[in-house]
Amino acid sequence: MIPTSFEYLRAKNLKDALKAIGKNTKVIAGGHSLLPLLRFRLAQPDTLVDIGQLQELKGIKQAGGGMKIGAATTYRELLESRELGTLYPLIAEVTEHIGDLQVRNAGTIGGGLAHADPAADMPPVMLVLDATFLLQSKGGKRSVAARKFFKGPFTTAMKPNELLTEIQLPAPPKGAGMAYASFEQAASGYALAGAAALIAIAKGMITRAELAFTGLADTPFLAPAAAKLVGTSGDELISQVAAAAVAGVEANDDIHAGPEYRTHLATVAARRALTQALERAR
Amino acid sequence: MRLDFSGAPEIAAPPDEVWKRLLDHEFVASVAPGVESVEPIDDRHFKVISGFGVGAVKVKFQLEVELSDVNPPKSLKMSAHGKAPGSGVEVSTTLEIEPLPPNRSRLKWSATSEVRGTVASVGARLLKGTAKKLTESFWDKFAARVGERSK
Amino acid sequence: MATLFGSGIKRREDPRLITGKATYTDDVKLPGLLYAAVLRSTYAHAKLRKVDVAKAKKAPGVVAVYTGADVKDKLDTVPCAWNVPNCDLKVPPHPPLAVEKVRYVGDGLAMVVAESRAAARDALDLIDVDYDALDAVVDPEKATQKGAPELHKEVPGNVAFTWKVAGGDVAKAFAEAPVTVEQRIVQNRLLPTAMEPRAACASYNPGTGQLTCWVTSQNPHIHRFLLSVMTKLPEHRIRVIAPEVGGGFGSKIPGYPDEALVSFASMELGRPVKWTEDRSENYKVTIHGRDHVEYVALCGTKDGKITGLRTKVYAGLGGYASTAAPGIPTILHGLMYSGPYTIPNIEGTIYGVYTTTTPVDAYRGAGRPEATFLLERMIDLYARKVGLDPVEVRRMNLIPKEKFPYTVATGLTYDSGNYQGALDKALQMFDYKKFRAEQAKGRKEGRYLGVGVTTYCEICGLGPSQVAGAVGFGGGLYDSAIVRVYPTGVVRAYIGAKPHGQGEETTFAQIVGDEFGIPVENVEVVAGDTEATPQGWGTYGSRTTAACGSAVKVAAQRVKDKAKKIAAHLLEANEADLEWKDGKFAVKGSPDRGKTFGELALMANVAWNMPPGVEPGLEATAFFDPSNFVYPFGTHICTVEVDVETGEVKILRYIAVDDCGPQINPMIVDGQVHGGVIQGLGEALQEMAVYDEDGQLLTGTMMDYAVPKASQMPKVETAHTVTPSPVNPLGVKGVGETGTIASVPTLVNAVCDALAPLGISHIDKPLTPARVWAAIQHARGGAK
């Protein structure tokens, strides 16, 4: 339980941090994903760059009709933000699922997303909300859609010299309802399968439907099948869409759940999330 | 923990070309993720140092690689015995090259891995997907590169 | 003064424990302290080709590195101390560090001793090991089959012992019985997961030849003995101190190589050496629990009378026979096959089997949960087959309360009991008929409700020493106390057992306080230091209050007897004319003429005016050896709803009625029941150590091994009946293990009851949603 030795650098500001990161460095904020890996010596960086204290990376702001969240904002700060809770109640709902009180006190939204655990709760939320992630490096900044960010287990579109600095959320569509349903693995609390849904309606008809999964496959993903709900009243189609959304997906297999059960749970989670999102939209 | 994966990528090159590349350890190393050094002992045995992992996870293995059942330009067995502090891995890969006339091939590979120690006991939840991705992308990349070089 | 016995006062241990002020073994810091780390095998089964420590020896901060070859002539092998007789027990040598072969993932290969913990850990990565891999075998049944890899050359076929229990005529019973039910049952392997991992810190003084070893121990006197065997130091040169111990659940009973290795290193280096396990090391190296494959058959009449029980059990022992391992699936399991019932014919065959896995030993309940589980499971299967209500079948077969002491077919004689009373009490708390009506209604609506009812009894309060000797237990099972009164009238009790979470610091103070009529604050209980406490046998088997608490009581009575003599002398009265009232000895009829306990304590300690022939001082030692085991019992009820779409089990109610005799502290009793029930529900619902076919432990961390969390568990409703035991002066029975013994079948029976309409009669625990769902799919597929 003792990591290999490393240099520890507490960045004074963002510029400082961007200068320090690169090959054989790891960025640490809350540390909840990284520390176990360090202690098992499954990660052996030369330098840890601590960005947890950077005020530049903290905070939740209104922007246009949407919001911007600093990457080093803790889960607890997300839960405490009334504005965020009003505009995106789903984020608060899902955040309550993450870890326990201590984890939420120190863990950060950006850290969790950058870690890209394929069974984490927050990525599918980012997918259905169509968030954009701001990535910065010494050389500049670029934006990557959440939908193009998650590339595989623990693998993202970020380059080694880039830092996730901000999560940008567009205004939720008018008349939108959102929901998340998941089945937790009893030991880790990570999702065996989980689904986030967003449904917007106008005059009783669905105008937009988004559905994303976590835990099911090697990376969280958006299910295009949800689009079939658009232009309908939902209800009877939801079960079909839930099943179609997971069809052909190569499901994870581990000691906790085989692919068949996982796929089944994902279908149930999708149905429950879509149904609840629709109810909330109404 | 036992892991079995297989694949059969198509290669835009004839079997002879694919065979040549398979035996070219420098080429193979350039395609493999994380290889730091390859030291040939003879034309069938190699010492390799390679980091494996995704995201924050990276474990550096010392591998002893052996080629056997060499049957040019058709089939080959590649075994690797790897050690890392607290972990170990054995990978046995069989490779078959099928001609796809006129000028292409199919590389049928199947790999059986046995993972021991920390990596097995800590990574049960994630090992399979990660290892699969690494193995598949290695052979897919090999297939693509051989095709490119052959153009 | 109000009596302390029976008062639910708060645990005096807790403030220091919950504010981080307790001193554990890892907190011990000594001048010149060195730190040890042990390199562990990554293979489950392999021959060792080489263990090259040359680089590690040269690493910065490293003081010494030892391999199996270095220690094999200096340290003895790790002993097994429960040599169960009449079962052809084979205990092959267990070297403290592997010499020729490794036999499980975690088997020790080398120990690094360094100036810092980090330096020791870093050096492990520099040790180069070459193995010749051998096939692994993790399933105890498969390990006995032809062609299975063999672990020890001394043990062909891997069978360590074949133990039989028999009473009545089982063959006849089955031949004549109109109804027979059979079931294969797997008792999932469990990881004890004490909050504090194991640790040992050894300090050898080359000047005096004395070794002091701080160990995470449930039984420091046993550890002193085991260390003496392993280090070859005479026992009187060894002092074992178990400071605060953060839970054990049985895992801190055995002797392990680690405390012997740090002792050896300290003797070699002349400096103190400390080793502390980390959690993943704990999961790989500290003993595991359960791990049975059982074939069980039960027979009876068509109207619900059970006439016979037969078992064949493959009990996994792991790579080596741990300290108490042979006794767990035999004496503590097979002898309990009758449970609380009058089963006239019983036969069990138990194979102890070596497998390439972590050694298996006592885990909370130790053998008895497995016995209760198989029996209760079989009774539900039987009740279903004969079409009778499972509660009625139980009631019909319970031992009647007027029959105690009662000797069951396995030969045990139960001390006392009122099993119907506990069942009745539980059914007062739970409207069984109403639930059955709701269940029937629910089934029509597609809801799957179920109820499990367990009537159990267990053997605990281990036990008479004579029996210990007869069953091959390598020690006594009496316990001891010194009650010492200080001049100011405050008291310390030095006890032979070693509580590590059970609350005896509080409850024993209650016993002493009552005896002397002094406030509980004036009594302290000291445990865990072999230099301070009399020979005792430790805390396990729900024995501490029954055996050691009784010793405290007897010692206190002896003190009081002496105090009475002094009082008589000071009051110039006859002893016979004195009575103990309101905290003082007074002359009968003249309550003003009296001496308080404090006055007598002072006089005894200053000895200015003692009765002729009476020695100064006020203390007494007692060794209490019970005349029999004690047999607590009770009834647990659990109701569940199963979501058949997802396989999830929701616990609706959990009711525990336990009878542990008179309760010294009802709050602590309830705490023990809560903890035990939750631990059992963990076993029933979600805990399982998983090995792959190569012997790799896949549940190597808490990310994969599902210890129950508060949020996952129900409220436990407790109640009690009180049936005193005649075998000890307190009448107490022990309550540390009732929860893990009763709750497992209660939950599993409830789930199987819920799923009965689908034709499901058995699902192997743990009943994870994945397993329940798979069983439902299977049942539905079968129905199509």
Is C172 part of any domain?
Answer: no
Is C182 part of any domain?
Answer: no
Which residue, C604, C624, C644, sits at the end of a domain? C624
Per-residue pLDDT, averaged over A41-65, amounts to: 94
Same domain, residue pair C62 and C128:
yes
Identify which of C186, C372, C369, C366 has the alpha carbon closest to the alpha carbon of residue C291: C186
pLDDT (0 to 100) of residue C2: 61
**C-alpha distances in Å from residue C354, one per residue of C101, C137, C138, C153:** 14, 9, 9, 12
- Is residue C707 within 8 angstroms of chain A, CB to CB? yes
Q: Contacts from C466-470 at CB under 8 Å and sequence distance 24+?
A: C467/C629, C470/C85
Same domain, residue pair C518 and C643:
no
Residues of B in contact with A156 (CB under 8 A): 55
C-alpha span between C714 and C654 (Å, rounded)? 7
Is C170 part of any domain?
Answer: no
pLDDT (0 to 100) of residue B42: 93
Q: Is the pLDDT of residue A70 over 90?
A: yes
Per-residue pLDDT, averaged over B26-39, amounts to: 90
Tell me which residues of chain B have a C-beta less than 8 Å from any C-beta of chain C. 1-2, 83, 85-88, 114-118, 120-122, 124-125
Searching chain C, which residue's CA lies closest to the CA of residue A97? C711
Q: Contacts from C670-675 at CB under 8 Å and sequence distance 24+?
A: C670/C718, C671/C11, C671/C503, C672/C502, C672/C503, C672/C735, C672/C736, C672/C738, C672/C739, C673/C716, C673/C718, C673/C735, C673/C738, C673/C739, C674/C716, C674/C718, C674/C739, C675/C739
Structural domain harbouring C457: 292-462+628-783
Please list the rounded mean pLDDT of every run of 10 residues in chain C (784 residues): 86 96 97 98 97 98 98 97 97 98 98 98 96 97 98 97 98 98 98 98 97 98 98 97 97 98 98 97 97 98 98 98 98 98 98 98 97 98 98 98 97 97 98 98 97 97 92 96 98 98 97 95 98 97 97 98 97 95 91 93 97 97 97 98 98 98 97 97 98 95 95 96 97 96 98 98 98 97 58
List of E strands, C521-647: 523-526, 578-581, 584-587, 590-596, 619-624, 633-643
Per-residue pLDDT, averaged over B110-114, amounts to: 93
**C-alpha distances in Å from residue C188, one per residue of C291, C369, C409:** 5, 12, 28
Residues of A in contact with C770 (CB under 8 A): 192, 256-258, 261
- Using the beta-carbon criterion (under 8 Å), do A42 and B123 form an inter-chain contact? yes
Percent of chain A having pLDDT more than 90? Answer: 90
Residue of B56, B118, B128 lying closest to A34 (CB–CB): B56
Identify which of A43, A35, A165 has the alpha carbon closest to the alpha carbon of residue A113: A165
pLDDT (0 to 100) of residue B121: 84
- Using the beta-carbon criterion (under 8 Å), do B118 and C43 form an inter-chain contact? no
DSSP annotation of A88: -
Is C231 part of any domain?
Answer: yes
- Is residue C132 within 8 angstroms of chain B, CB to CB? no
Per-residue pLDDT, averaged over A156-182, amounts to: 96
C-alpha span between B35 and B39 (Å, rounded)? 11
- Is residue C712 within 8 angstroms of chain A, CB to CB? yes
How many other C-beta atoms lie within 10 A of the C-beta of residue C305? 16
* Cα atoms in the Cβ-side hemisphere of radius 13 Å centred on A131: 29
Is C140 part of any domain?
Answer: no
Same domain, residue pair C80 and C210:
yes
pLDDT (0 to 100) of residue B131: 84
Which residue, C608, C624, C640, sits at the end of a domain? C624
The strand pair at C479-485 and C648-659 is best described as unpaired
Domains of chain A: 7-50 (3.30.43.10), 55-169 (3.30.465.10), 176-281 (3.30.390.50)
**Sign of torsion, CA A131 A136 A141 A147?**
negative
Residues of B in contact with C109 (CB under 8 A): none
Alpha helices in C531-643 (DSSP H): 550-571, 597-606
DSSP annotation of C332: T
Give how far A154 is from chain B: nearest CA, Å.
5
Same domain, residue pair C229 and C80:
yes
Per-residue pLDDT, averaged over A179-203, amounts to: 96
Percent of chain B having pLDDT more than 90? Answer: 66
Q: Is the pLDDT of residue A230 over 90?
A: yes
C-alpha span between A205 and A175 (Å, rounded)? 11
Give how far A133 is from chain C: nearest CA, Å.
29
Same domain, residue pair C447 and C538:
no
A64: CB partners within 8 A, 6+ apart: A170, A171
B101: CB partners within 8 A, 6+ apart: none
- With residue A182 as reference, give the H or E element that holds it: strand A176-184
C-alpha span between C140 and C148 (Å, rounded)? 10
Searching chain C, which residue's CA lies closest to the CA of residue B82? C130
Residues B132/B109, Cβ–Cβ less than 8 Å: no
List of E strands, C290-332: 292-300, 306-318
Residues of A in contact with C701 (CB under 8 A): 36
Question: Mutate which of B116, B118, B119, B122 to test chain C, going by most C C-beta atoms within 10 A?
Answer: B116
Burial, C255: exposed, middle or buried (Cβ in 10 Å; 0-12, 13-18, 19+)? buried
As separate numbers, helices (DSSP H) first and strands (DSSP E) second, chain C gives 19, 28
Residues C303/C264, Cβ–Cβ less than 8 Å: no
- What letter represents residue A228's amino acid? K
Domain at C74, CATH number? 3.90.1170.50
Per-residue pLDDT, averaged over A188-216, amounts to: 96
pLDDT (0 to 100) of residue C26: 98
C-alpha span between C427 and B133 (Å, rounded)? 57
C-alpha span between A33 and C276 (Å, rounded)? 24
C-alpha span between A252 and A261 (Å, rounded)? 10
pLDDT (0 to 100) of residue B126: 72
pLDDT (0 to 100) of residue C784: 40
- Is residue A44 within 8 angstroms of chain B, CB to CB? yes
Identify which of C158, C149, C473, C106 has the alpha carbon closest to the alpha carbon of residue C317: C158
pLDDT top residue among B111 and C1: B111
The strand pair at B104-117 and B87-100 is best described as antiparallel
Same domain, residue pair C367 and C266:
no
Domain at C488, CATH number? 3.30.365.10
Whether ipTM exceeds 0.90: yes
pLDDT in tens, B65-108: 999 999 999 999 999 999 998 899 999 999 999 999 889 999 99
C-alpha span between C449 and C293 (Å, rounded)? 29
Domains of chain B: 2-150 (3.30.530.20)
C-alpha span between A192 and A184 (Å, rounded)? 6
Same domain, residue pair C302 and C260:
no
Per-residue pLDDT, averaged over B27-49, amounts to: 92
Is C149 part of any domain?
Answer: no
How many other C-beta atoms lie within 10 A of the C-beta of residue C12? 16
Identify which of A177, A251, A252, A169 has the alpha carbon closest to the alpha carbon of residue A210: A177
C-alpha span between C553 and C514 (Å, rounded)? 10
Residues C254/C324, Cβ–Cβ less than 8 Å: yes
**C-alpha distances in Å from residue A213, one per residue of A149, A226, B32, B124:** 14, 12, 31, 21
Same domain, residue pair C643 and C753:
yes
pLDDT (0 to 100) of residue C592: 87
Burial, C154: exposed, middle or buried (Cβ in 10 Å; 0-12, 13-18, 19+)? exposed
Same domain, residue pair C384 and C435:
yes
**C-alpha distances in Å from residue C262, one per residue of B82, C11, C35, C96, C220:** 31, 34, 9, 11, 16
- What letter represents residue A5's amino acid? S
All partners of chain A with 3 or more CB pairs under 8 angstroms: B, C
- Using the beta-carbon criterion (under 8 Å), do C770 and A257 form an inter-chain contact? yes
Same domain, residue pair C103 and C226:
yes
Residue of B59, B128, B129 lying closest to A42 (CB–CB): B59
- Is residue C278 within 8 angstroms of chain B, CB to CB? no
C-alpha span between C81 and C538 (Å, rounded)? 14
- Using the beta-carbon criterion (under 8 Å), do A4 and C122 form an inter-chain contact? yes
Tell me which residues of chain B have a C-beta less than 8 Å from any C-beta of chain A. 53-60, 85-86, 118-119, 122-126, 128-130, 132-133
Burial, A8: exposed, middle or buried (Cβ in 10 Å; 0-12, 13-18, 19+)? exposed
C93: tokens are 């040598």
- Is residue A47 within 8 angstroms of chain B, CB to CB? no
Same domain, residue pair C84 and C96:
yes
A274: tokens are 């879509």
Same domain, residue pair C352 and C452:
yes
Alpha helices in C445-549 (DSSP H): 465-470, 504-516
**How many domains, in total, are found in chain C?**
3
Residue of C125, C693, C696 lying closest to B121 (CB–CB): C696
Residue of B85, B87, B122 lying closest to C124 (CB–CB): B85
Give how far C315 is from chain B: nearest CA, Å.
24
Residues of C in contact with B91 (CB under 8 A): none
Question: How many interface pairs between A and C have CB atoms less than 8 angstroms apart?
Answer: 54
C-alpha span between C664 and C510 (Å, rounded)? 7
Task: Give the phi and the psi of residue C110 in degrees, each rounded to 5.
Answer: -160, 150
- Chain C, window 664-703: residues with a beta carbon less than 8 angstroms from a chain A beta carbon: 685-686, 690, 698-699, 701-703
C-alpha span between B18 and B10 (Å, rounded)? 11
Q: Exposure string (b/e) for C538-563, b if CB count within 10 Å is 16 or more?
A: bbbbbbbbbbbbbbbbbbbeebbebb
**Sign of torsion, CA C312 C313 C314 C317?**
negative
C116: tokens are 């810092």
The strand pair at A132-137 and A140-145 is best described as antiparallel
Strand partners of residue C159: C353
Is C40 part of any domain?
Answer: yes
**C-alpha distances in Å from residue A130, one per residue of A169, A191, B25, C75:** 7, 21, 44, 65
